């Protein structure tokens, strides 16, 4: 596994990440006044489910998913959802929403007694599914991005979508190696 240069992923004052492919989503709004970023939510996504590498994740987050392109898309084509970032299987980093803005990734959620996690979190999607391991490139890129986010915002908590929406969501799934992620981030493992 190669090491990527963290400095190439710095965030500017507006919350845009150098080194990310900027693909602006219309699905975001302002964070509530005085609401500071304190949480990063890790998700997984594949469209259609279990398929990797196609254009459909971008299409979903940009509001242009064709409901006839796949039977599953009829259920989700009208959703207004987004994430701040996507890390593809090959490690490519895509950014849809500036981190200073509120992306619509968490839905009904609660973390440590605080509702509406979108207000104070950054969403990172990993291209994947609950039943497949993530790639070396994804772990490396996630650690780099997490370090860049902490450089910009200070110490952050990291959690899975399943932890803030239990019973409703299962991602990032059992194949996400939290101990490995925390080790690559330089945190103690519990």
Q: Residue 20: count other Cβ atoms within 10 Å of its Cβ.
A: 22
Is a pLDDT exceeding 90 seen at residue 47?
yes
Q: Which of 92, 125, 136, 157 is flagged as catalytic?
A: 125
Domain boundaries along the sequence of the chain? 6-118+133-148+157-185
Active site residue 125: yes
Is a pLDDT exceeding 90 seen at residue 72?
yes
Torsional sign, CA 145, 149, 150, 155: negative
Is a pLDDT exceeding 80 seen at residue 6?
no
CATH architecture of the domain 6-118+133-148+157-185 equals 3-Layer(aba) Sandwich (3.40)
Q: What contacts 184, CB < 8 A, 6 or more positions away?
A: 139, 140, 142, 143
User: What are 14-41's pLDDT values in tens digits?
Assistant: 999 999 999 999 999 999 999 999 999 9
Q: Residue 168: count other Cβ atoms within 10 Å of its Cβ.
A: 11
User: What are 128-139's pLDDT values in tens digits?
Assistant: 999 999 999 999
By CB neighbour count within 10 A (0-12 exposed, 13-18 middle, 19+ buried), where does 13 fall? Answer: exposed
Q: Report the Cα 90 to chain-centroid distance in Å.
A: 15
Q: Do residues 32 and 107 lie in contact, with contact meaning Cβ atoms separated by under 8 Å?
A: no
């Amino acid at each position: 596994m190669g090491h990527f240069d963290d400095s190439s992923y710095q965030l500017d004052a507006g919350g845009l990440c150098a080194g990310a492919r900027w693909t602006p989503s219309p699905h975001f709004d302002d964070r509530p006044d005085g609401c500071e970023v304190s949480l990063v939510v890790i998700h997984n996504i594949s469209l259609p489910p279990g398929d990797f590498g196609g254009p459909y994740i971008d299409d979903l987050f940009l509001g242009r998913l064709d409901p006839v392109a796949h039977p599953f898309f009829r259920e989700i084509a009208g959703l207004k959802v987004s994430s701040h970032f996507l890390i593809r299987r090959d490690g490519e980093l895509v950014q849809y929403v500036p981190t200073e803005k509120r992306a619509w990734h968490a839905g009904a959620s609660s973390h440590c007694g605080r509702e509406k996690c979108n207000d104070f979190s950054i969403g990172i999607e990993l291209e994947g599914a609950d039943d497949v391991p993530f790639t070396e490139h994804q772990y490396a890129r996630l650690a780099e991005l997490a370090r860049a986010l902490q450089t910009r915002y200070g110490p952050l908590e990291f959690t899975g979508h399943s932890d803030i929406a239990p019973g409703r969501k299962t991602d990032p799934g059992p194949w996400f190696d939290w101990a490995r992620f925390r080790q690559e981030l330089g945190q103690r493992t519990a």
